[in-house]
Structure 1
Amino acid sequence: MKVRLLATISSAALLLGACGGGGGSKTPAGKDAAEGYDPAAQVTITWWTGQTTEAEKTAEDLAAQYTKAHPNVTIKTSTGASTTDDLLTKLSAGFTGGSYPDVSYAYGSWAGELATSGKTQDLAKWVADPAFGWSEIPEAARDTATYEGKVIGVPALVDNLALIYNKQLFDDAGVAYPTDQWSWDDFRAAAKKLTNPAQNVYGSAYSVSGSEDTTWHLWPMLWQRGGKILDGRKPAFNSDAGVGALELLRAMAVDDKSLYLDQTDEKYGPLFNDGHVAMMMSGPWALLEIKDAGLEYGVAQLPGYNGDHQTVSGPDLWVLFDHGDANRAGASRDFIRWLTSKEIDAKWNLAIGNLPLRSSEQGTPEFAEYVKEYPGGQKFFDNLANAKQARPTLAGYEEMSRNVGDAISKVLQGAAKPKEALDEAAKKSAGALE
């Protein structure tokens, strides 16, 4: 959802790679992990929710609701780690020691690492059952859960990037509000007009921490220009499309000085809420804090290139793990089927301020309440249609993302040129992607 990648992931990814060559899946090759599942068997499953305190209470209530209807199932619920960002490290340690959960929350950018750990179930046939309604979940989210034809989990959360703007700052500067038809030139021109050094107001903001938050904001700009992240397993982001996208950001940051450069990923949101950033490319999770700040705001699609307004979705997953026990595998699947159903997801994601997982939820009372409580929620829901591509699900994505993030950060801080920086990132990433 918000910030998907911190420095701790680097070592965790190495641990996952190390343990992936060890025990592997506990279910023999060719056999489904849930084959022989007895729905009436007494079974205990462990669910790492990865949630904050408030959302964890909702998760516990839902687990209790499920077990009341299924008294033969016990669900041990916990956050799994002190923060969501620490879950990958905790999972890798669990793989080594054999103490990993049956179900865990995971950022979508971890999917390739988890898929190659050898510990996940393959859910491809299970989700293909028409009764599951797999097609109701956005395609980019389904693609993120899929590695080389193997489905390792079910999307837990869907989101996308759009342009959120502070109406008061636009009014004060006499600038017209963004529209869904804006180009990147429109965005740059408005950001320049909105920047007011005397009042510490920036037109927009960008993360230069080098994290996934830095990297994934570039991807929609790359796609809009017809570029690709990869060509097969070869880096392709350093194409003319990628260089052109990064050059626009460089011009805003270095020439116009209209971008606030956030070294941490954590400052630009609060600065927007405090009236010091006029526009930010962010997701529906930001609406919760904006609401608390009491801002008058609007949401528009991302600016486009030649009329293409593609966005990027950063779906998170419920990853299901294999313990060589058909009843644990089957029970975890049944629970996740229930949790991600139209009826229950409305009580889960919409209740904690997220977008619904399924298109069929748009007609629910919970969705009507959500868009009333969070103006802009409907725009983010509709913008899922612009999430036409997914970030690559492969084991080398994490390393590549760090290299690209470092390149972007150098360029926006005036320490490198777009072409040379992206070429260097591509060269560094090639080995990890083979």
Structure 2
Amino acid sequence: MVKHTKKAVLLTLLTVNMIVVSACSTANTSNQSSAAPTNDAKATAGATGEKVTLTYGGWKLDTITEVIKAFQASHPNIEVKAENTPYKQYFTKLETSAQGGTMPDVLLMNGPNFIKYADNGMLKDITGNIKADQLDLNNFPASLVSLYSLNGKNYGIPKDYDTIGLWYNKKLFDEKGVAYPDASWDWNKLVEAAKKLTDTSKGIYGFAAPMMNQEDYYNTILQAGGNVISDDHKKSGYDQPEAIEGLKFLTDLIQVHKVSPTLAQMTETAPADMFTSGKLAMYFDGSWAAFTINQNQDMKNNADVAVLPKGKKQGVVIHGLGNVISANTKHPKEAWEFVKFLASKEAAEIAAKQGGAIPAYKGSETAWLSAFPQYHAKAFIDMTAYASPYPVSKNTSVWNTYETDILKNAWTGEKSVADAAKELGAKMNQALAAEK
């Protein structure tokens, strides 16, 4: 009776709470008890020498076709069928497949959706597999390992990651005689430089402070010594003084220092577009921006990147995808073999050469860096030493909506940052309490 109740709750959660995030991924719930294999020793077609076909769900899987080929070459009895879905449709499709019993054997997962799927028994606990095969999780950033762990159990292996850096226009810096950003920069140096670089008569701003969570205020909250959510995912940090300070640093750049475009301006034209058009001297953006900037002929050699400036401390949010296994896969042994291969240095280096994201396997980032030799892109990797996991809970999408709805009043100046942050904290705490 308890099992059936849990299944009904799971279906409701999946239907109501699917997430689509920036940064930055199917099981039969009605037959979960009878369909889920009891252990990895269960006989499968692969174990008898017959060919097994695994489905691998995700987006941008065209960046790892060579990885799949390498795996199949070393595992001739296992065929991997990639089910590539555009990111914007991926989680909607996953919701449908979760209810219909067609979840891929292996799939990409992101942080905001992870807890919901793991906590409701949709993902396979691979802690035993990791221990049995002595897979060293120290090969991956600890913050990413933590992102795909729940209640002391491992459900995913990090695939790749992204951090946020301070991108800057060298040409604009040179014209004003301003020294380039480096690891010594703090908030005060950023503000000082932004004032010198701002020239509104030419439509040029020193810095852009948009209302973006992963790229902007999640980082400044960390730099102020605060957090967005507690480590146990049960309490909001928005109503605390440190979070308020981190938010206010950004809004002051617009309202007090006048070195950033307004929210309305940045809504009309994204900071990334302002930057590549030469109208913006600095902004925060992810490691993924390296590819886009490198494709812009006017900007590719005029741009560079540095680590984020520190506030009271250094801080940056890290997010990355993980490879997980469906709890209901009919081929747990083969699925684990594939995930284990995806977690290898060999797979990481192959993927990096093909043009994917920064590989999560430590020491295999060289191929990614070599694609952008003119940038100090190693800054993105250096920051993993003090990075904090992307803030998530079981139903992240609920309070993500509150962030957007409430914080815009602080960005426009209609409410004080403190009032907006306290309102957001209260609403978020209500949402977190309802997750129990």
Question: TM over 0.5: same fold?
Answer: yes
CA RMSD of aligned residues (A): 2.9
The equivalent residue for 2:256 is 255
The equivalent residue for 1:228 is 227
The question of whether the paired residues in 1 share the 8 Å contact of 2:160 and 2:358 is answered with: yes
**Quick one: which amino acid aligns to residue 305 of structure 2?**
V
**Quick one: which amino acid aligns to residue 161 of structure 2?**
V
Equivalent position to 1:48, from 43, 57, 70: 57
Distance 1:226 1:128 in 2: 35
Answering whether residue 70 of structure 2 is matched by residue 65 of structure 1, we say yes
The equivalent residue for 2:314 is 309
Residue 342 of structure 1 deviates from its aligned partner by 0.6
The equivalent residue for 2:4 is none
Distance 1:113 1:188 in 2: 40
> What is the aligned residue count?
406
The equivalent residue for 1:205 is 208
The question of whether the paired residues in 1 share the 8 Å contact of 2:227 and 2:237 is answered with: yes
Query: 1:201 is paired with a residue of what secondary structure?
Result: coil
The question of whether the paired residues in 2 share the 8 Å contact of 1:224 and 1:310 is answered with: yes
The question of whether the paired residues in 2 share the 8 Å contact of 1:285 and 1:353 is answered with: no
Distance 2:119 2:150 in 1: 9
The question of whether the paired residues in 1 share the 8 Å contact of 2:27 and 2:101 is answered with: no
Distance 1:433 1:332 in 2: 33
**Quick one: which amino acid aligns to residue 252 of structure 2?**
A
Greater mean alpha carbon deviation, residues 164-173 or residues 107-116: 107-116
The equivalent residue for 2:142 is 139
**Quick one: which amino acid aligns to residue 324 of structure 2?**
V
After superposition, the Cα gap between the structure-2 partners of 1:78 and 1:263, relative to the gap in structure 1 and judged at 3 Å, is farther
After superposition, the Cα gap between the structure-2 partners of 1:162 and 1:50, relative to the gap in structure 1 and judged at 3 Å, is same
**Quick one: which amino acid aligns to residue 48 of structure 1?**
G
**Quick one: which amino acid aligns to residue 237 of structure 1?**
Y
The question of whether the paired residues in 2 share the 8 Å contact of 1:24 and 1:117 is answered with: no
Residue 214 of structure 1 deviates from its aligned partner by 2.7
**Quick one: which amino acid aligns to residue 420 of structure 2?**
A
Answering whether residue 82 of structure 2 is matched by residue 77 of structure 1, we say yes
The question of whether the paired residues in 1 share the 8 Å contact of 2:29 and 2:98 is answered with: no
Query: 1:77 is paired with a residue of what secondary structure?
Result: strand
**Quick one: which amino acid aligns to residue 46 of structure 1?**
T
The question of whether the paired residues in 1 share the 8 Å contact of 2:27 and 2:99 is answered with: no
Equivalent position to 1:111, from 107, 110, 114: 114
The equivalent residue for 2:9 is none
Deviation string 1:270-326 (CA, Å, 9 cap, x unpaired) is 2212211211111211111111222322222111123x212110112223212252x
After superposition, the Cα gap between the structure-2 partners of 1:33 and 1:399, relative to the gap in structure 1 and judged at 3 Å, is farther
The equivalent residue for 2:292 is 289
Distance 2:98 2:413 in 1: 42
Structure 1 residues without counterparts, runs of 5 or longer: 1-10
Query: 2:317 is paired with a residue of what secondary structure?
Result: coil
Deviation string 1:26-76 (CA, Å, 9 cap, x unpaired) is 57999546655655453211112301xxxx434334323322332221211
**Quick one: which amino acid aligns to residue 311 of structure 2?**
Y
Structure 2 residues without counterparts, runs of 5 or longer: 1-12, 20-25
The equivalent residue for 1:415 is 414
The equivalent residue for 1:7 is none
Deviation string 1:4-34 (CA, Å, 9 cap, x unpaired) is xxxxxxx9672569x9995485579995466
Query: 1:113 is paired with a residue of what secondary structure?
Result: helix
- Which of 1 and 2 has greater Rg? 2
Query: 1:256 is paired with a residue of what secondary structure?
Result: coil
**Quick one: which amino acid aligns to residue 323 of structure 2?**
W
**Quick one: which amino acid aligns to residue 243 of structure 2?**
G
Distance 1:283 1:118 in 2: 32
**Quick one: which amino acid aligns to residue 316 of structure 2?**
T
Deviation string 1:96-136 (CA, Å, 9 cap, x unpaired) is 11122112223322212222342111112223456422111
Answering whether residue 175 of structure 2 is matched by residue 172 of structure 1, we say yes
TM-score (norm 2): 0.84
Residue 393 of structure 1 deviates from its aligned partner by 4.2
The question of whether the paired residues in 1 share the 8 Å contact of 2:17 and 2:398 is answered with: no
The equivalent residue for 2:399 is 400
Deviation string 1:141-191 (CA, Å, 9 cap, x unpaired) is 111111222322221211211111111111122222112111112112222
The question of whether the paired residues in 2 share the 8 Å contact of 1:103 and 1:319 is answered with: yes
Query: 1:109 is paired with a residue of what secondary structure?
Result: helix
The equivalent residue for 1:125 is 128
The question of whether the paired residues in 1 share the 8 Å contact of 2:18 and 2:113 is answered with: no
Answering whether residue 386 of structure 2 is matched by residue 386 of structure 1, we say yes
Greater mean alpha carbon deviation, residues 400-409 or residues 30-39: 30-39
After superposition, the Cα gap between the structure-2 partners of 1:95 and 1:179, relative to the gap in structure 1 and judged at 3 Å, is same
The question of whether the paired residues in 2 share the 8 Å contact of 1:13 and 1:113 is answered with: no
After superposition, the Cα gap between the structure-2 partners of 1:195 and 1:61, relative to the gap in structure 1 and judged at 3 Å, is same
Distance 2:42 2:431 in 1: 35
Query: 1:361 is paired with a residue of what secondary structure?
Result: coil
After superposition, the Cα gap between the structure-2 partners of 1:376 and 1:29, relative to the gap in structure 1 and judged at 3 Å, is same
Residue 350 of structure 1 deviates from its aligned partner by 4.4
Distance 2:327 2:169 in 1: 47
Equivalent position to 1:352, from 333, 355, 365: 355
Query: 2:225 is paired with a residue of what secondary structure?
Result: coil
After superposition, the Cα gap between the structure-2 partners of 1:20 and 1:427, relative to the gap in structure 1 and judged at 3 Å, is farther
Distance 1:21 1:74 in 2: 22
Residue 259 of structure 1 deviates from its aligned partner by 2.1
Distance 2:356 2:93 in 1: 26
Distance 2:30 2:174 in 1: 61
After superposition, the Cα gap between the structure-2 partners of 1:322 and 1:29, relative to the gap in structure 1 and judged at 3 Å, is closer
Q: Percent identity?
A: 23
User: Superposition pairs for residues 267-346 of structure 1, below 5 Å?
Assistant: 267-293=270-296, 294-306=300-312, 308-325=313-330, 328-346=331-349
Deviation string 1:190-233 (CA, Å, 9 cap, x unpaired) is 2222222222222222333xxxx435622232222222323441
Query: 1:358 is paired with a residue of what secondary structure?
Result: coil
